[in-house]
Amino acid sequence: MKREFQVQRSKFQVHCLLAALCCILIVSLLSCSFKKDQIYRKTMILMDTLITINVVSDSSDKASKAMDRAFDEIGKLDKLLNFFSSSSELSMINRNAGISAVKVSPETLEVIEDAIFVSEKTGGAFDSTIGPEISLWDFHTRKMPDDKTVKERLPLVDYKLIRIDRNKSTVYLEKKGMLIDLGAIAKGYAADKAVEELKRQGITSGLVSCAGDIRAFGLKPDGKPWKIGIKNPRPANKEDEIMATVGLSDMAISTSGDYERFFISNGRRYHHILDPKTGYSAEGCRSVTVIARYGFQTDAFSTGVFVLGPRKGMELLRQMGFEGVIVDKDGGIETTPGLKGRIEFKGNN
Ligand code: AMP
Ligand code: MG
């Protein structure tokens, strides 16, 4: 009798336990459904440009902390790679051109190796040793160099004269006067590093925009890809005008354009994308948009393809398996086949 009572008591205890577990489950499911994913956004000026991070999260604290960490990452790169700051590792490399190899951090080494890779793929149309030429120009004050100086400096522009020693983590520029300028790759590379950091912080969806170099991952809370606008290089009025939009997830996009920094003199447009063969602005395109996996790729290849011009540029995009849109010097628009159906052009073009 006593034994029977004990069995019934333990059965009752098991039932109670199950009921309690059910309650906990229901409460936690309910609290989950109340926490809604939202887009959180922060903007900062770093790398001499406006950087915006959007993340999807169910917690503003978590989103804020993750974005701060990503901005720290970009700030760190800014300190290493800034062309104008005398304390950056990049300036140390440039100051020691023709003198000695400089020991650098893994990030500086990696981005310079990436730049060399893109130079090889573009046959030198992208060349981060463009520094001695680009520093002759000021597109804001309309400063134009004389032809003799432009020609004299051309031998200093050659990515093959960058010596990397991976084991020692050093970079050496072979000729005195050489200058590496990472202006066409660093922002895309920074977007990549920021996304890596956001993912480390547990964020599964977001968008990092370093000016025109953008990397998207995951989907928006509505389950749709991130929608990115591509600027019209010749807007009807002075405002920014979108020429087309494209939906992106887990991809990067960059646009290089002759409208970003330029002046017009004697009917000719002088802008900030230089042909390393001539030292003068590249002339075949108005803008080039590239879509690929990584920001360093889209940033650097959009510049390289711009220099190559529409025909060779399209061919290179095909070879690399990248997508893109090229607006040529006369306003003609060409799109890679893979983008058809994914890109939406506005009526005003
Ligand atoms: P982006 O706006 O990304 O096309 O980069 C343009 C910037 O990259 C310029 O302001 C220069 O600092 C640098 N640059 C200009 N021409 C070249 C080139 N052919 N290859 C690599 N960097 C370049
Ligand atoms: Mg670029």
CA distance 25 to 112: 52
CA-83 nearest atom, ligand 1: 12
Ligand 1, residue 275: give the atom nearest the CA. Answer: 19
Quick check: helix, strand or coil at residue 97?
coil
Tokens of 169: 């983590």
Q: Name the residue among 34, 79, 75 with its Cα closest to residue 53.
A: 75
Torsion, CA 123, CA 120, CA 297, CA 192, rounded to 10: -150
Which pLDDT value is given to residue 34? 58
pTM over 0.85: yes
Closest ligand to Cα 273: 1
* Superfamily of domain covering 38-80+184-345: ApbE-like domains (3.10.520.10)
**Inter-residue contact 225 to 214 (CB < 8 Å):** no
pLDDT at 239: 76
Nearest CA to 108 among 126, 123, 128, 122? 128
* Helix H or strand E segment including 226: strand 226-231
Q: How many helices (H) and strands (E) does the chain have?
A: 9, 16
Confidence (pLDDT) at 165: 98
Homologous superfamily of the 87-173 domain (CATH): ApbE-like superfamily (1.10.3980.10)
For 138-195, give the DSSP string. BTTTTB---HHHHHHHGGG--GGGEEEETTTTEEEESSTT-----TTTHHHHHHHHHH
* Contact partners, residue 144, CB within 8 Å, separation at least 6: 137, 265, 270
For the chain, list residues with pLDDT below 70.
1-34, 348-349
pLDDT tens digits, 182-233: 999 999 999 999 999 999 999 999 999 999 999 999 999 999 999 999 999 9
Q: What is the pLDDT of residue 349?
A: 44
State if residue 134 touches ligand 1 by the CB under 6 angstroms criterion.
yes
- CB atoms closer than 10 angstroms to residue 189: 26
Q: Which atom of ligand 1 is nearest to the CA of 131?
A: 12
CA–CA distance, 40 with 177 (Å, rounded to integer): 45
Nearest ligand for residue 297 CA = 2
Q: Does the C-beta of 130 come closer than 6 Å to ligand 1?
A: yes
Maximum CA extent, the chain: 112
Q: Tokens 């900062």 correspond to what residue?
A: 44
For residue 11, the model assigns a pLDDT of 61
Pocket probe for ligand 1: among 83, 117, 127, 130, the residue whose CB has the most ligand atoms within 8 Å is 130
Delimit the domains of the chain by residue range. 38-80+184-345, 87-173
Identical fold for domains 38-80+184-345 and 87-173, yes or no, is no
How far is the C-alpha of 335 from the C-alpha of 214, rounded, in Å? 19
CA of 309 to the centre of ligand 2 (A): 15
Q: How far apart are CA 40 and CA 22, in angstroms?
A: 34
The residue whose CA has the least distance to atom 5 of ligand 1 is 184
